[in-house]
Amino acid sequence: MLQDSSGAVTRRGFMGRAAAAAFGFSIVPRHVLGGAGFTAPSDEVTRAVVGVGGMGRGHLGYAGARTVAVCDVDRGHLKQALDSLDAGVRGCADFREVLAMPDVDVVHVATPPHWHGIISIMAAEAGKDVWCEKPMTRTIGEGKRLVEAVQRNGRMFRLNTWFRFRDNFYGYGSTVAPIKQIVDSGELGWPLRVTVGTGTGFDFKFFWSGKTDLTPEPVPAELDYDFWLGPAPFKPYHPHRVHQTFRGYWDYDGGGLGDMGQHYLDPVQYLLGKDDTSPVEVEVDAPQQHPDAVSSWRKITLRYDDGCEIVLDGEGFSVGQPYIEGPNGKLFKNLRVEIKGKEKVLRGLPEPEPQEGDFYACVRNRRKFALNEANGHRSCTLVNLGTTAVRLGRNLKFDPVKQEFVGDEEANRLIFQPMRGPWRV
Amino acid sequence: MKQHWMNRFLVCALLIAAVPWCAAESLDALLAAFPAQSGAELDKAAAALLDGGAPLLAELCGRILPEASGDADLQARLALSGLVKHVMAPGRDAARAATAAGVAAAMGAAQDASVRAFLAAQLEWIGGDAEVPALAALLADPATLEPGAAALEAIGTDAAGSALLAAQEAAGNARLVKALGVTGYTPAVPALMRMLQSAGEESQQAAAAWALADLGTEEIVPLMLGVLAAPATDKRPDLLAATARLADRLVEKGDAKAAEPLYEALMKAPEANARAAGLGGLAVVRGEEVMPLLLAALDDADGQVRGAALMMMAQCPKKETSAALAKKLKDLAPEARAQVVAALARRDDGAAVKAVVAALGDKDAPVRMAALETLGRGAADEGMDDLFKMMEKSGEKGERDAARAALMRAPDPALSSAAAKRLGKAAPAMQAVLLGMLEARQAEEHADKAEKLLGSADESVRIAALNMLSAAADAGRMPRLYAALKAAEGDGVERAARNALAKTRSRADAADAAAFDATVTADLEKADAAGAGRLMRLMLELDPANAPKTLAAGVAENAARAEAVRLEALQLLGEHRDGAALSELARMTGALDAGAVRDAALAGVCRQFSRATEETPVAAAMSGLHAGSALRTADEKRQVLQALASRRTAAAAAAAAVLLDDAEAAQDAAAALADIACMKSDRDKGLTDAGTLAVLTKALGIAGDDAVRERIGKQLEIALKGT
C-alpha cells in the first residue's frame, strides 16, 4: 500500500513497492550517462576496506577494484594490511576518515556485525557504494534504516554472500540455479518446507559459542577497545570478546546462526520467491541463553503466511531428510529428486531470471546487484528472527509489512536496540 | 526529586526487612534449575522464583556481582535474565511489573556501577514508567549514564523522555540529546531547537539536528531550512543527512506537505548525494505527479541526479512510466540507453517488455547487450524470433552467447519447437547450438530431427546430435546410436556415442538393457583389434562395476584372442574408474604366466595405485598381491611401492607397510612410506593418524637411508608433539 489513510504516499509504502518490483531500479553515475561537459573518469573502481583483521583481509584480494585505503581500530591489523598493499594506500583508525575521502568509490564493511548498519548507512549518506559482510545487520531495525539510506541516496549495495547466483553452496552439492528451476516448475507443489542442517549439507558451527567466565584483562596497547565496542554496551575487555571469537556474544553477533545463517538462508529466500517479505511466525526449541554469551539451539522454524516453512536443524535430525519437500515431491542433497510419477523433472524448464553477479560492474553500470540492500535485509531478517527467538527462548509472531512482532511490545524492544555514545542508525 | 529518593528508600527498607533468613538456602535450590533446557522448563523455573515474591527477587539481585568477578555469579545472572525473559512474554503484565520494581529497587541499592549496569540492562527489556525514576538516577553518574539512557530509550514513554530532558538540561550531554530523539519526546523540541541555533559546539548542534529529525515535527522545518542555508561547517554532512531523516519521518507520519520543502532544499544543495536524496524524497511525496520532474532530471547536468531520477522511475508503479521511459530512450546517449533498457527490463508490464524487445534491434551494441543480459522470461518469449536472429547472425560472439542465454529463459514448448524448426535450414555451427538447446530441454519430441543429423558431414553436428539424444532418446533408438558408435571416426564422436548409449541404456527397462549388453558381448567376440577397443570402452561405460570381470575373463586372460587386443583390455582396465578393475588386475598379476600380458597387468595395477580415487580397492589389491606372493621380484615390488608413494592417505601407508617385513623390499617400503606420510613443506602436516605413526615408527627402525630416516624422524617428532 503506497498511500496511508490520509492519501499521502508513504516512504515505507513506496520502498515496499520498490522491493516488490524485484529490485527494480538503477542509478547511473556521472560518467555513465555522460553528456556534454563531462569528462568520463577511469573505469577503475576504488575501494576502502573497513576492518582488516579477519574477513577484511579477504576483501583486499577481491578482483576488480583498487584499494586506496584501509581502516581498523587495531593498529596491528592495520599495519599488517598496509604491509601487504602497495605504497600509497592510506591507513586510518576511524572509518569516518574513509567516508570523507573523495577518491573512494566503494566502502567495504568487514567489521563485526554490530558495526555493519552504522558504517553502511553513513557510507551511503556520504555518497559511497557499499560492499558489506554478512550478516547484514545485527537487528531488524538497523536493516530497515540501511535499506532507507541506500535507496534514498541512490547507492549500490551488495551483501557478501553469493550462493543465490554463483557456486555450489556449502555441503548441498549443487548451485542454486537448477534447484530454482525445479521449484519454479511447480512440480514439488506448494507450500514447500526447506530444511537447513547438517543432514542437508549445512553446519551452523556451534563452536561460535561465548564464554561466561570472562575475568577482565588489560586492553592490548594496539587496540582501541572503546571504538571496537562502538555502539555495543560497555563490557570489560577480554580477548575472547574480540577478533576471531566475537561471534559468541549477543552484543556483537548471534553465534553460528549469525555467522552462517545468511549464507544458507538467502538462497532459500530466493528459491521460495520471498525476497519482498518475511515469515509471520518463528518457533524455537532451544536451551535458555546466557544474557551475554551465545550458545546452541535445537530447532528453529520460520513460517511464511502461505505455509512455506524453513526449518533450521541444530541437532542433526535432518539426516536423510529432503532439502526441500512439497506436497508432490522431494528434493534431496546433490539434486536428487523424487517426484510422484515424474522421471525428468528438469525437462522443459526455462533458466531462472537473470541476476547481476559482478558488483564492481554494477558500480560502473548502475544495474542492481543480485543480492542488494532490499533482499539482503529480508534474508538477514530471517537470521535476526531466529536469533531473537533463541535469545528470548520463545515463539514469536511477526508482521512482515510493519516489520514488527505482533502484540509483543517487549520483543519489539529488540527490533531497534539502544546504541552507546554518539552511534545511531 | 526528594520525594523520589524517599520512595526508593522505603522500598529498599521494606525489601530488606522482608528477607527471611532461610531465603538463601531456598534460592540456591531454585538457581540449580538454570539454565533451563527448554522454554517450558524456563517458565517453570521462573514461576518458582516468582513464587518467592519480592524478598526472593531482592536476594537474587543481591547475588549479582561486579563484572570483574568472572563466573562467580553465573547462576544468579542466568536466573535473573531467565526470569526477565519469562515475565516479558505477552500476558504476564503483573509479573513483569513486580519483577521490574524489584530489579529497580535492587539497582538503587547496588554499590557497584557494573552491577547497576547489568540490572539496568534487565530494565531495558522489562522496565516501564514505574522504573523511570530509578533509571533517571543513573544518568547523574558518568559510570552508569549509558545503561540508564539505553533503558530509558527502550522504555520510550513520555515519562522516560521527561527524565532524559531533565537530565540533559542539568548536565548537557550529547548522549542524552540523542536519547531524546530516539525516545520521540516532542516536548524536548524547544530545547533542542535552541541547541541547534546556538553558536556552541558543532557536535552538540549536529546531535540536536539528528534528535530533531528523529522527532519529526513540522515546527522544526523552518529552522532546519535556515540551518541548511547558513555557511557550511564540518558538520554539514550530518545536517544534510538529518534533514533527509526529518523529511522521511514527516512523510511516515503522513505530513508529506511539510516534508516537501526539505526535499526541495536538498535538491538545491551543491552536494550531489544530497540532491539525489532530495529527488528521491520528492518522488515519494509527489507520487505519480513527480514524473515530469523525473523526466526533466534525466537531462540534469549532474550524473547523481540523473541516476536518482532513473532509480525513481524504475520504482514508480505508474503504468505510463514504462512508456515514458521508452519514449525517452531515443534522446539519450548509447550508454544511457543501455541503463534505461536495464531498468525497463526489471519492470514486468507490457510496455516495458515491448521496449526491451525493441532494444534488441538497437543500432548500438551496448544497448543490445543490456537488453540481452537483463531481459526476463516474458521478454524472452516475446522476443524469441529476434533473439534467434541475433544468435544466428550477430557478428559478435558475446552477443550470440548472450542471445542464447536469453533464449534459455524462454519457456517450453515454445523454445524447443522454435529451435527444432530452425534445425533443418541452419548452418552446421548453428545446428550444433540448436541441438544443445534441445539437449538442455530434454526435448524427446524432437529426437527424430536429432537422429537425422547423425548422418551430418559435420563432426560437431554429429556430436551435438548424439548429446541431444543422450538426454532425450528412448531405448528404441539404441540400435541407431550403436550404429553411430561403430561408424564413429574420431574420439569426440565415439565418446559422444558411448555416452549417449550409456545414458539411454540407463533409461531402458532391464530386458532391453540385457539384450543390448548381449549384443555388444557377442560383437566383441567377433571384433577385430580396431573394433574390439571401441566395444570394450563401451562395455566399461555401460556397466562399470561388472564389465572388468567380463573383459578380464573373456579377453585379457583369453589366450585365443590376439595379444594386441588382450593388451588393450589391460590398458583400459588400468585406466578404468571402478575399483573392480584393480581387483581383476591384481588377480591376473598373480595368475598369468610371465610375459608381455602379465607385465601389462602389473602396469595396470601400478597405474591404478597412482590414480584410483577410492582407498578400499587399493588396500584390498595390495593385500591380495602380498598374500598371494603375486609380486615375484624385488623390481616388481619397487614398481608397486613407487606407485603407492604418489598417494597421501593412511590406507596407502598401510598398504605400503605390508612390505616392511619383506627383506628384499623393506628399504623401498620405508622410502615409499616417507613419501606417502611425511610433510613436504612447512605448511604440510603430513599424515598424523595413529595407524600411520605406528608404521612410520616401524619404518624408522628399518630404514637404512639417512635421508629417509631424517624425514620419518621429523614427521614423528612433530606429529607426536602435536598429540
B241, B301, B347 ranked by CB distance to A24: nearest: B347
pLDDT at position A47 is 97
pLDDT exceeds cutoff 50 at B10:
no
Query: What per-residue confidence (pLDDT) applies to B303?
Result: 62
Residue A108 has pLDDT above 50, yes or no: yes
B376 CA: distance to closest CA in chain A (Å): 5
- Indicate yes or no: CB of B441 within 8 angstroms of CB of A347: yes
Cis amide leading into A135 (omega within 30): yes
Average pLDDT, stretch A282-286? 98
Chain B segment 253-282 residues within 8 A of A by beta carbon are: 254-256, 271-273, 276-277, 280-281
Give pLDDT, residue A394: 95
If pLDDT is split at 50, 70 and 90, which confidence band does B311 have?
A: low
Distance from C-alpha of A286 to C-alpha of A289, rounded to nearest angstrom = 8
Block residue for cell numbers 592510506: A90
State residue A345's pLDDT score: 54
Residues B708, B712, B715, B717, Cα dihedral to 10°: -120
pLDDT tens per residue across span B540-567: 999 999 999 999 999 999 999 999 999 9
The region of weakest confidence among B48-62, B263-277, B524-538 is B263-277
Q: Are strands A129-132 and A299-303 parallel, antiparallel or unpaired?
A: unpaired
Q: Is the pLDDT of residue A280 over 90?
A: yes
Distance from C-alpha of B412 to C-alpha of A348, rounded to nearest angstrom: 5
Q: Please provide the average confidence, as pLDDT, over all residues in chain B.
A: 90
Are B347 and A424 in contact (CB < 8 Å)? Answer: no
Structure confidence at residue B339 as a pLDDT band (50, 70, 90): confident
* pLDDT at A120 exceeding the cut of 60: yes
**pLDDT range class, residue A392, cuts 50, 70, 90:** very high
Structure confidence at residue B172 (pLDDT):
85
Q: Of A281-290, B325-334, B349-358, which one has max mean pLDDT? A: A281-290
The pLDDT, as a whole number, for residue B273 is 80
Q: Which of A101-110, A144-153, B705-714 has the lowest mean pLDDT?
A: A144-153
Nearest by CB to residue A152, choosing from B69, B237, B277, is B277
Mean pLDDT of B330-352: 82
What are the grid coordinates assigned to B21, written together?
533468613
d(CA B403, nearest CA chain A) in Å:
12
* pLDDT tens-place string over residues B169-225: 998 889 999 999 999 999 999 999 999 888 667 778 889 999 999 999 999 999 999
Largest CA distance in chain B: 115
% of chain B residues with pLDDT over 70:
94
Q: Is the pLDDT confidence value at B693 over 50?
A: yes
pLDDT value at residue A31: 34
Residues of chain B contacting A273 with CB distance shorter than 8 Å? none
This model of the complex carries an ipTM of 0.89
> pLDDT-derived band of residue A346, with 50, 70 and 90 as boundaries?
low
Q: What is the DSSP letter of B552?
A: I
| pLDDT-wise least confident of B278-287, B433-442, B570-579 | B278-287
| Residue, of A25 and B90, whose pLDDT is higher | B90
Distance from CA of B606 to the nearest CA of A (A): 32
What count of CB pairs under 8 Å joins A to B?
280
Cβ-nearest to B416 among A348, A366, A407:
A348
Q: What's the angle, vertex CA B96, arms to CA B93 and CA B102, rounded to 5? A: 145
Q: Which of A10, A346, A354 sits opposite B373 (nearest CB)?
A: A354
Q: Please state the rounded mean pLDDT for residues A9-25.
A: 31
Cβ contacts of A367 on chain B, cutoff 8 Å: 339, 342, 374
Q: Model confidence over B643-672: pLDDT tens digits?
A: 999 999 999 999 999 999 999 999 999 999
Of A24, A125, A348, the CB nearest to B412: A348
Distance of CA B274 to the CA centre of its chain: 34
pLDDT tens per residue across span B485-544: 999 988 899 999 999 999 999 989 999 999 999 999 999 999 988 899 999 999 999 999
Q: Which three cell numbers stand for residue A295?
A: 550458545
Q: Over pLDDT 90: what percentage of chain B?
A: 74
For B:139-168, CB contacts with A below 8 A are 146-147, 149-151, 153-154
Give me the pLDDT at residue B315, please. Answer: 66
| Chain B residues close to A408, C-beta within 8 Å | 89-90
Contact A91, A81 (CB under 8 A): yes
User: In the predicted model, what is the mean pLDDT of chain A?
Assistant: 88
Between the alpha carbon of residue B221 and those of residues A18, B183, B193, B216, B226, the distances in Å are 27, 20, 11, 9, 9
A39 has a pLDDT exceeding 80: no
pLDDT of residue B342: 85
pLDDT tens track for B319-338: 677 888 888 788 888 877 88
pLDDT of residue B722: 60
pLDDT at A64: 94
User: φ and ψ at B708, to 5 degrees?
Assistant: -65, -45
Question: Would you say how long chain B is, in residues?
Answer: 723
Residue in A closest to B84 by C-alpha: A392
